[in-house]
Amino acid sequence: MSRFLGFYDYTVILTYASLLSAVSSMFYASQGNYFYAVFFLMLSGLCDAFDGAVARSKKNRTEEGKSFGIQIDSLCDLISFGVAPATLCFFLGVDGLAGRLILFFYCLCAVIRLAFFNVLEIQRQQTEGGANKYYRGLPVTSISIILPLFCLLQYVLDDHLFVLLLHPLMLAVGFLFILDFPVKKPSLKNLLSNG
């Protein structure tokens, strides 16, 4: 019997790397180094893109190990794609009453979506197994692409307008997290065959 709680094998390495990248993003955002803050947010998303495939590559995972993987992935996703982007936006200037309410809403939508996903995924694993083919609503990891792309506008917009537009962006993304609509899950195989 292990002296430590949890599961320690290669199946969770990318999940933990995603979390550490997100924490790095928050550190850099707090120092005003937005280039590295955005970079580490994108790196967090990249790690998350492959963590499920790595976890499924272990054929002899126990049911407890699978359940732990689902829970730890969502907990790390909440920090990586809920708290870290909200923190970055706060330091970018989404502040004041309206800004804070938007960031509260964004984080709340992320946690609701992830908790709902956990319930559905545990049920689905018991009946189907394997990888899910569709998302319901916008996945939280999408912010690791949306926010960096939006940040490119800093080079063409003045700072005030950029921050002003960042408010409705975060509001809309939060809303899309909890809106129930099907989104086909991209796979590496499909991306390579369509490219």
Q: Kindly state the percentage of the chain with pLDDT values over 90.
A: 63
- Please give the model's pTM, rounded to 2 decimal places: 0.87
For the cut 50, the answer to whether the pLDDT of residue 192 exceeds it is no
Residue at 184 is within a domain: yes
Instruction: Flag whether 4 is in a domain.
Output: no
158 lies in some domain? yes
Per-residue pLDDT of 31-55, as tens digits, reads: 999 999 999 999 999 999 998 888 7
Domain membership of residue 164 as a residue range: 10-194
Please report whether residue 101 resides in a domain.
yes
Is residue 64's pLDDT more than 50? yes
Q: Please compute the mean of the pLDDT values over residues 140-165 and round it to a whole number.
A: 96
> Of residues 74 and 193, which shows the higher confidence score?
74
Question: What total of structural domains would you count in the chain?
Answer: 1
Confidence at 144, pLDDT banded by 50, 70, 90: very high
161 has pLDDT over 90: yes
Q: Look at 183 and 140; give whichever has higher pLDDT.
A: 140
Question: Are residues 81 and 51 in contact, defined by beta-carbon separation less than 8 angstroms?
Answer: no
User: Does residue 52 lie within any of the structural domains?
Assistant: yes
Phi-psi region of 96 (alpha: psi -120 to 50; beta: other; left: phi over 0): left
List pLDDT tens digits, range 78-100: 999 999 999 999 999 999 999 99
Does the residue 5 lie in any domain? Answer: no
Distances 37 to 26, 62, 131, 154, 185 between C-alpha atoms, Å: 6, 36, 30, 14, 26
- pLDDT tier at 128 (50, 70, 90 boundaries)? low
User: Would you state the pLDDT for residue 3?
Assistant: 81
Structural Rg of the chain based on CA atoms: 17
Q: What is the pLDDT of residues 6-23, one digit of tens each?
A: 888 888 899 999 999 999
DSSP E strands in 24-181: the ranges are 134-136
In a domain, 26, yes or no: yes
> Residue 121: enclosing H or E segment and its boundaries?
helix 96-127
pLDDT at 119 over 90: no
The residue type of 28 is Y
**Does 3 fall in a domain?**
no
Give, as one character, the DSSP assignment of residue 81: I
